[in-house]
Amino acid sequence: MSGVIGTSVKRREDAALLIGKGKYCDDFTLPNMTHAVIVRSPYGHARINSVLTTEAAEHPGVIAVFTGRDVVNSDIGGVVPTGWLLPGIKTPEHPILATDTVRYAGDGVAVVVAEDRYIARDAAELVEVDYEPLDAVTDVLAAVADGAPQLFEEAPGNISFDWDLGDAEATAAAFDRAAHTVEVDLRNNRLIPHAVEPRGCLASFDDTSGELTLYVTTQNPHLHRLLMSLASLNLPEHKMRIIAPEVGGGFGSKIHHYPDEAIASFCSMQIGRPVKWIATRSETNLTDAHGRDHASHAEIALDAQGKILGLRVKTHAAMGAYLSTFAPAVPTYLYGTLLSGQYDIPAIHVQTLGVFTNTSPVDAYRGAGRPEATFVVERLIDMAADATGLSVVEIRRRNFVSKDDFPYQTAVALAYDSGNYDGAMDRALELSGYEALRAEQKRRREAGDTKLMGIGISSFIEACGLAPSQVVGALGAQAGLYESGKVRVHPTGSVTVYTGSSAHGQGHETTFAQVVADRLSIDVDQVEVVHGDTGEVPFGMGTYGSRSAAVGGSAISTALDKVIAKSRKIAAHMLEASEDDVVFEDNAFHVRGVPSKSQGWGDVVLAAYLAHNLPEGLEPGLEETSFYNPENFTYPFGTHICVVEIDSETGAVELQRYVAVDDVGNVINPMIVDGQVHGGLAQGIGQALWEHAVYSDDGQLLSGTLLDYAVPRAHNLPFFETDRTVTPCPHNPLGVKGVGEAGSIASPATVTNAVVDALSPYGVKHMDMPLTPEKIWRAIHRNGG
């Protein structure tokens, strides 16, 4: 029905999930199915002298054991590729099972296939690997120091790439004439994604047809098929069917092509039986691509009035042991391009070095580069406020790109299409009662309150709705970033929609049904949405980068344009009117100016399929496909404000309030959008206060279980106060911008700014996340508290 866009339609996905009938990867069972367990390196860096599999292979119930040598001796490709190349980048080979050297704790060396998972685990213990441990390096700055252990001969100094963007000379000149400059060394802490469902797959190779069916925890089944066809398996794409069943969260970690799904497929091809592999929690934590892990030196230059003249950043970004699927893009084009934030900055220069370390690979994790950029910019802005004597609100206002200045070309490649930064900040200030908060803080400080109140603000921008294919192609992407949408109208008028976006909790089935129902003026229940299966859906790029509504939704919208255009031709023919005079409104075609002449949607659709009387030259049927290629990124923005209270005696932080005002453009389903904001906030607040993937110097993941790695829990978080301003995206048909990542982009800086604000009486200017009580207690006491 029209008007259904913008309403909180309840999710059609939920009933099955609530009664325990959702089918996730590990819930599938195929006849004659076997179970694989991967034998992984316990060392961060070691040479493999030998792998003895005899005892494991003889264990009762074991079907086969394969090593990296077996993969090399087979006719599959056996390597996982990276999907984004930068000039001069070193891309050492990443074999699906190591043969000579392991480069992180978790690197696979062998695989055991058995009749059940318990037997496979027993037998994995019987695989004897003779390792010769090598020196390891896990810290991103230590890895580029003189004398550091080297991961690859072809990447001297452990440098994969040295990339820069912006005008170095103009930036240097800006710093030369600045009245104020501020600099800081900061870290962006390494994170483990922690989707509650661990990664897994079920591979079934049919050796008579030569077809592989793969159920896999993926955010993008077609991308998996493409990469597996090109590199890891070398099977033709038309002989591979990849199915994303219910996927239990992803947050980026299920974008990437990992060795594991290629290993399971290889095993199935070898033994001719289905092979299931499901990671344990500690295994998924060891091997999922981690997020963030930057060390940056950042500087900002301002004139006497507090107007920003320039910004300069040098970042060392950990890549881990191998280049994961999109890894090179994350600390470059998804990071450096965002360093203008919401601000008019005439000169920016950023240099990023991609650094190999003996850790799990690092790749896109919710926000992917944009939280890191926001952290740099929003920390510098607060420090600049301190240096110039301006308030943190005033310095932002003085530097915002004005709402009259769009489109705005930044100094780092992006052209912001729209925005109203003052509007979002005004709303956040109002909603938080900002002036009263500052007054309360002043009063409490003067009274010597031992509970230190801090107020943090962060104004963020993101570039999402990934992405214009020709632009990303020029920047090194090895794929386009359009999306597919196919609308199949059935003879009786109901609709099945096929989308290349692949949901894993976002509610695409509901949201996209709303788009179709609104456009065709039919009930949402008349629309079925199909996703996540390369056997059913046209080639598409999947769900990440807050792209599904902006790109996938737009593809459906443009396919609907085609459907309506064709059905209008048929209606005009039926109404004996000129096509130009026929309008589609309220589920019927009307002749303009002749209210009595109209033809219902159902009659026109049926006529398309009966084909008894179609306009000359028009094919029967009503089914249209669109590949929507966005003309620009979308640019959601907002301002977030939070209040913390720090116990000066223990250093413990209590997050008391969190106010988020986001502008994500038009909203299709407010309930779902709120849920996305909340989830992003929890992850960003988790990064700020608790989460940290810690490696020992010799390569052990010390925070590898949920007992050591603090994922936020319900009682850790306040009630989020959210609101929106609406500045529609000017260049896509739905006017939507994307919301999946906003919360995780803004909140690390918001919370950190609040904690630093609380500690400012102790002379604290900056602290790195996570802001643990120990770190805070030390900061207070180091400065004479």
Partner 1 sequence: MNESDPRSITVVTTVNGERVERQVESRLLLSDFLRHELGLTGTHVGCEHGVCGACTVLFDGEPVRSCLTFAVQAQDHEISTVESLAPGPEKLHPIQQAFWEKHGLQCGFCTGGILMTMLPFLEENPEPTEDDVRHALSGNLCRCTGYQHIVDAVLHAAAMMRSDGGHG
Residue with smaller CB distance to partner 1, 668 or 682: 682
Question: 296 - beta bridge partners?
Answer: 186, 315
Strands 240-243 and 211-216 turn out to be parallel
Among 77, 78, 108, 248, binds partner 1 (CB under 8 A): 248
Q: Are 12 and 510 in contact (CB under 8 A)?
A: yes
Question: 489 - beta bridge partners?
Answer: 495
Structure tokens at 199: 């990664």
Reported residue count of the chain is 785
Distance in Å, CB of 69 to partner 1, minimum: 31
List binders of partner 1 among 716-755 (CB under 8 A). 716-717, 719-720, 743
Residue with smaller CB distance to partner 1, 571 or 643: 643
Residue with smaller CB distance to partner 1, 159 or 279: 279
Q: Are 684 and 771 in contact (CB under 8 A)?
A: no
Q: Are 618 and 569 in contact (CB under 8 A)?
A: yes
Distance in Å, CB of 594 to partner 1, minimum: 45
Distance in Å, CB of 711 to partner 1, minimum: 5
- Backbone dihedral angles phi then psi of residue 370, each to the nearest 5 degrees: -75, -35
DSSP 665: B
Residue with smaller CB distance to partner 1, 166 or 748: 748
Residue with smaller CB distance to partner 1, 238 or 713: 713
683 is an interface residue for partner 1 by CB under 8 A:
yes
Nearest to 88 by CA among 141, 151, 164: 164
Q: Are 343 and 399 in contact (CB under 8 A)?
A: yes
Strands 275-278 and 34-40 turn out to be parallel
26 is an interface residue for partner 1 by CB under 8 A:
yes
Please give the size of the binding site for partner 1, defined by CB under 8 A. Answer: 62
Among 504, 519, 731, 737, binds partner 1 (CB under 8 A): 504
Stretch touching partner 1 by CB under 8 A, among 294-302, 505-513, 565-573, 632-640: 505-513
List binders of partner 1 among 693-712 (CB under 8 A). 705-707, 711-712
Q: Please report, as a single letter, which amino acid is at residue 426.
A: D
Between CA 428 and CA 434 the distance in angstroms is 8
Distance in Å, CB of 187 to partner 1, minimum: 23
Strands (DSSP E) found in 265-403: 275-278, 294-302, 308-320, 347-356
Residue with smaller CB distance to partner 1, 72 or 706: 706
72 is an interface residue for partner 1 by CB under 8 A:
no
Residue with smaller CB distance to partner 1, 283 or 382: 283
715 is an interface residue for partner 1 by CB under 8 A:
yes
Residue with smaller CB distance to partner 1, 607 or 672: 672
Q: Are 484 and 512 in contact (CB under 8 A)?
A: no
Q: Is 595 left (phi over 0), alpha (psi -120 to 50) or beta?
A: alpha
Between CA 80 and CA 231 the distance in angstroms is 6
Residue with smaller CB distance to partner 1, 469 or 716: 716
Structure tokens at 191: 């994170």
61 is an interface residue for partner 1 by CB under 8 A:
no
Distance in Å, CB of 671 to partner 1, minimum: 5
Binding pattern for the stretch 284-323 against partner 1, x by CB under 8 A and - elsewhere: ----------------------------------------
32 is an interface residue for partner 1 by CB under 8 A:
no
CA atoms within 13 A on the CB side of 287: 26
3 is an interface residue for partner 1 by CB under 8 A:
no
> What sign results for the dihedral spanned by CA atoms 554, 556, 560, 563?
positive
Between CA 253 and CA 290 the distance in angstroms is 8
674 is an interface residue for partner 1 by CB under 8 A:
yes
378 is an interface residue for partner 1 by CB under 8 A:
no
Residue with smaller CB distance to partner 1, 241 or 508: 508
Among 43, 161, 215, 251, binds partner 1 (CB under 8 A): 251
682 is an interface residue for partner 1 by CB under 8 A:
yes
Structure tokens at 281: 């929690």
Residue with smaller CB distance to partner 1, 417 or 462: 462
Binding pattern for the stretch 102-131 against partner 1, x by CB under 8 A and - elsewhere: ---------------xx-------------
680 is an interface residue for partner 1 by CB under 8 A:
yes
Structure tokens at 275: 């092979």
10 is an interface residue for partner 1 by CB under 8 A:
yes
Distance in Å, CB of 646 to partner 1, minimum: 21
19 is an interface residue for partner 1 by CB under 8 A:
yes
Among 172, 671, 694, 726, binds partner 1 (CB under 8 A): 671
621 is an interface residue for partner 1 by CB under 8 A:
no
Among 48, 178, 195, 226, binds partner 1 (CB under 8 A): 195
Among 540, 545, 679, 735, binds partner 1 (CB under 8 A): 679
Distance in Å, CB of 287 to partner 1, minimum: 15
Distance in Å, CB of 338 to partner 1, minimum: 23
Distance in Å, CB of 351 to partner 1, minimum: 34
CA end-to-end span of the chain? 63
Between CA 376 and CA 104 the distance in angstroms is 29
Is residue 645 helix, strand or coil?
strand
691 is an interface residue for partner 1 by CB under 8 A:
no
- Backbone dihedral angles phi then psi of residue 455, each to the nearest 5 degrees: -120, 130
Distance in Å, CB of 658 to partner 1, minimum: 10
Structure tokens at 392: 């943190």
31 is an interface residue for partner 1 by CB under 8 A:
no
Q: Are 190 and 285 in contact (CB under 8 A)?
A: no
18 is an interface residue for partner 1 by CB under 8 A:
yes
Among 42, 675, 728, 730, binds partner 1 (CB under 8 A): 675
CA angle 739, 743, 745 (to 5 degrees): 100
DSSP 89: -
DSSP 290: B
Q: How many CB atoms within 10 Å of residue 527?
A: 22
451 is an interface residue for partner 1 by CB under 8 A:
no
Stretch touching partner 1 by CB under 8 A, among 102-110, 267-275, 530-538, 680-688: 680-688
Strands 720-724 and 653-663 turn out to be parallel
Distance in Å, CB of 146 to partner 1, minimum: 40
Residue with smaller CB distance to partner 1, 610 or 706: 706
Helix ranges (H only) for 97-220 are: 117-124, 168-176
Between CA 571 and CA 591 the distance in angstroms is 9
Stretch touching partner 1 by CB under 8 A, among 189-197, 303-311, 630-638, 750-758: 189-197
586 is an interface residue for partner 1 by CB under 8 A:
no
DSSP 228: I
Between CA 414 and CA 406 the distance in angstroms is 12
List binders of partner 1 among 196-215 (CB under 8 A). 196-198
Q: How many CB atoms within 10 Å of residue 19?
A: 8
Distance in Å, CB of 217 to partner 1, minimum: 10
CA atoms within 13 A on the CB side of 490: 8
Structure tokens at 405: 């200045």
Q: Are 419 and 726 in contact (CB under 8 A)?
A: no
Residues interacting with partner 1, by CB under 8 A? 8, 10-11, 13-24, 26-27, 29, 117-118, 193-198, 246-249, 251, 280-282, 504-507, 671-672, 674-675, 677-683, 705-707, 711-717, 719-720, 743
